[in-house]
């Protein structure tokens, strides 16, 4: 019996998946600490829209590129060690960003925000860790549940501005740092790797090169760059967008961003579970169609509160379903020995997909008309391009030799 098939009988699936999801949640909160505060930093430091968008995008870049390494290291050392390592490594950058914010130093915020990106690498660790605990038929469910760790962005968007208002900037960062430390301790005591895990001791670079030769790697990377990149971009930049377009306070903008992130998080396991029942291709097609439609509607600047909320929450749902669908597709199509490396590349592509939109939004903002129409239309065009490629070039059912390897 293969290890992938027999993994369904392992005790502790639920506990390990749940704890790994929490580890992801607290790291996503840390990764997104700057986004909810960006309107405040922009006001206090008199930042242009371009400088503010660069501040938001910097942690995204590092968190994206770092996934290339963290995914491959997970193949070698196992998910438990890597989940703990990433969590501990995020503590100092969290505190450093708080110090830089307290000092009001834009250069230091950029510098420490760069290192804060390490928290974003957690995703490429948790996907293979969760994946190997479950048999292929339930991996869409497993990766979908783990993906709910994205709720950390919602928690950050909602609570970070409030914590700063109640207790101050530095205390807020200390609270997150302590939460990271406690989470790492609990993970050390409770978490364990699946009995199906076997270390891949090959050097990281050859593994990445081997994964890069697989067609599935680049096809899934392109799709994930759209759906997860769209989520990350909006989860980080939406506070600035809402404050600029609708003139809400930082706290109110954070609450609305939290609703967006939460909708995407809840939709992700739905996309994964649907992909266990129907071909993931159809889930991804629905996601890309909905994304294009809702982004187009957003260019019309729906009235604040009800209609703007409906627009962005529906956009979040479509993006969330797409993230679940794509990674369920990755689990089906990727050879077992390459899961960590392929995951790292695909996750990095998703993060990179979230790096550029805030820069584009900041650069194309029309101050006279007070709109981000150009940036939103670029999202529409990107989603439609991905939709066409998925519809006409990708198979709904994988060839037998590919399915047998995954």
> In the chain, how many domains are there?
1
Q: Specify the pLDDT at position 405.
A: 41
What CATH code is carried by the domain that includes residue 254? 1.20.1250.20
Report the 10 Å Cβ neighbour count for 363. Answer: 13
Q: Is residue 8 pLDDT above 50, yes or no? A: no
Question: What is the Cα–Cα distance from 246 to 164, expressed in whole angstroms?
Answer: 22
Q: Specify the pLDDT at position 404.
A: 37
Segments in 132-214 forming alpha helices (H): 139-147, 151-167, 169-190, 204-212
CA of residue 55 relative to chain centroid, distance: 18
Please check whether residue 116 is in contact with residue 94, taking contact to mean a CB–CB distance below 8 angstroms. Answer: yes
Band the pLDDT of 9: cuts 50, 70, 90. Answer: low
Band the pLDDT of 399: cuts 50, 70, 90. Answer: low
**Range(s) of the domain holding residue 168:** 3-405
Question: What is the Cα–Cα distance from 142 to 21, expressed in whole angstroms?
Answer: 10
Q: Specify the pLDDT at position 5.
A: 39
Q: Specify the pLDDT at position 224.
A: 94
Pairwise pLDDT comparison (265 vs 7), residue with the higher score: 265
Q: Classify the C-alpha dihedral 32-256-41-159 as positive or negative.
A: negative
Lowest mean pLDDT among 181-185, 270-274, 290-294: 270-274
Band the pLDDT of 143: cuts 50, 70, 90. Answer: confident
CA of residue 277 relative to chain centroid, distance: 24
Least Cα distance to 214 among 319, 353, 321, 344 occurs for 344
Q: Is residue 401 pLDDT above 60, yes or no? A: no
Q: Is residue 154 pLDDT above 60, yes or no? A: yes
Please check whether residue 349 is in contact with residue 295, taking contact to mean a CB–CB distance below 8 angstroms. Answer: no
Q: What is the share, in percent, of the chain residues with pLDDT greater than 70? A: 95
Average pLDDT in the 355-367 region? 85
Q: Specify the pLDDT at position 4.
A: 39
Band the pLDDT of 116: cuts 50, 70, 90. Answer: very high
Please check whether residue 177 is in contact with residue 94, taking contact to mean a CB–CB distance below 8 angstroms. Answer: yes
Q: What is the pTM of this model?
A: 0.80
Least Cα distance to 171 among 102, 239, 111 occurs for 102
Q: Which residues of 43-62 are buried (b: 16+ CB within 10 A; e: fewer)?
A: eeeebebeebbbbbbbbbbb
Q: Is residue 158 pLDDT above 50, yes or no? A: yes
Say which residues have a Cβ less than 8 Å from residue 103's Cβ, sequence separation at least 6.
none
- pLDDT tens digits, 46-75: 988 888 888 988 898 888 888 888 888 888
Question: What is the Cα–Cα distance from 113 to 126, expressed in whole angstroms?
Answer: 22
Band the pLDDT of 389: cuts 50, 70, 90. Answer: very high
Please check whether residue 138 is in contact with residue 15, taking contact to mean a CB–CB distance below 8 angstroms. Answer: no
Please check whether residue 281 is in contact with residue 394, taking contact to mean a CB–CB distance below 8 angstroms. Answer: yes
Q: Is residue 284 pLDDT above 90, yes or no? A: yes
Question: What is the Cα–Cα distance from 131 to 108, expressed in whole angstroms?
Answer: 38
Q: Is residue 170 pLDDT above 70, yes or no? A: yes
Question: What is the Cα–Cα distance from 360 to 311, expressed in whole angstroms?
Answer: 21
Segments in 213-338 forming alpha helices (H): 215-246, 250-277, 280-298, 306-333
Least Cα distance to 340 among 217, 230, 231, 187 occurs for 217
- pLDDT tens digits, 251-280: 888 899 999 999 998 998 899 889 989 999
Q: What is the share, in percent, of the chain residues with pLDDT greater than 90? A: 50
Band the pLDDT of 381: cuts 50, 70, 90. Answer: very high
Band the pLDDT of 191: cuts 50, 70, 90. Answer: very high
Give the position of tokens 């003139």: 247
Question: What is the Cα–Cα distance from 388 to 383, expressed in whole angstroms?
Answer: 9
Read off the DSSP letter of residue 134: S
Please check whether residue 165 is in contact with residue 251, taking contact to mean a CB–CB distance below 8 angstroms. Answer: yes
Question: What is the Cα–Cα distance from 1 to 9, expressed in whole angstroms?
Answer: 12
Q: Specify the pLDDT at position 360.
A: 87
Average pLDDT in the 15-39 region? 93
Q: Is residue 144 pLDDT above 90, yes or no? A: no
- Which 3 state secondary structure label does DSSP give 44? helix
Band the pLDDT of 406: cuts 50, 70, 90. Answer: very low
Say which residues have a Cβ less than 8 Å from residue 279's Cβ, sequence separation at least 6.
396, 397
Report which listed range, 67-81, 124-138, 180-194, 365-379, is most confident: 180-194
Please check whether residue 59 is in contact with residue 31, taking contact to mean a CB–CB distance below 8 angstroms. Answer: yes
- Provide the mean pLDDT of the chain: 88
Give the position of tokens 């899934």: 220
Segments in 78-168 forming alpha helices (H): 79-89, 91-103, 106-116, 122-131, 139-147, 151-167
Question: What is the Cα–Cα distance from 76 to 71, expressed in whole angstroms?
Answer: 9
Q: Specify the pLDDT at position 138.
A: 81
């Amino acid at each position: 019996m293969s290890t992938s098939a027999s993994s369904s009988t392992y005790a502790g699936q639920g506990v390990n998946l749940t704890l790994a999801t929490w580890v992801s949640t607290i790291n996503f909160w840390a990764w997104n600490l700057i986004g909810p505060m960006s309107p405040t930093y922009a006001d206090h430091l008199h930042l242009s829209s371009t400088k503010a968008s660069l501040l938001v995008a910097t942690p995204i870049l590092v968190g994206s590129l770092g996934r290339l390494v963290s995914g491959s290291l997970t193949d070698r050392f196992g998910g438990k060690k890597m989940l703990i390592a990433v969590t501990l490594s995020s503590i100092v950058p969290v505190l450093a960003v708080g110090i830089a914010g307290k000092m009001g130093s834009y250069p230091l915020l950029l510098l420490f925000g760069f290192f804060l990106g390490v928290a974003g690498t957690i995703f490429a660790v948790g996907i293979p860790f969760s994946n190997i605990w479950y048999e292929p038929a339930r991996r869409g469910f497993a990766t979908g549940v783990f993906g709910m760790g994205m709720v950390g962005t919602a928690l950050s968007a909602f609570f970070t501005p409030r914590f700063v208002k109640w207790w101050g900037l530095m205390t807020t960062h200390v609270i997150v740092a302590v939460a990271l430390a406690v989470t790492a301790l609990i993970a050390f005591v409770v978490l364990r790797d699946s009995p199906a895990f076997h270390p891949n001791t090959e050097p990281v670079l050859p593994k990445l090169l081997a994964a890069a030769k697989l067609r599935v790697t680049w096809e899934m990377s392109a799709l994930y760059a759209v759906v997860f990149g769209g989520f990350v971009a909006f989860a980080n930049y939406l506070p600035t967008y809402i404050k600029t377009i609708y003139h809400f306070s930082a706290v109110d903008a954070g609450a609305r961003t939290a609703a967006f992130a939460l909708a995407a998080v809840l939709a992700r396991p739905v996309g994964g579970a649907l992909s266990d029942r129907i071909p993931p291709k159809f889930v991804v097609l629905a996601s890309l169609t909905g994304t294009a439609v809702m982004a187009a509607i957003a260019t019309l600047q729906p009235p604040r509160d009800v209609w703007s909320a409906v627009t962005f929450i529906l956009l979040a749902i479509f993006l969330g379903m797409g993230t679940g669908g794509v990674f369920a597709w990755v689990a089906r199509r990727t050879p077992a020995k390459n899961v960590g490396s392929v995951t790292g590349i695909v996750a990095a592509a998703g993060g990179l997909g979230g790096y550029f939109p805030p820069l584009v939004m900041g650069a194309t903002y029309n101050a006279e008309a007070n709109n981000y129409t150009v940036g939103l239309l670029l999202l529409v065009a990107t989603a439609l391009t991905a939709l066409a490629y998925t519809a006409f070039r990708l198979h709904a059912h994988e060839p037998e030799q590919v399915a047998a390897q995954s």
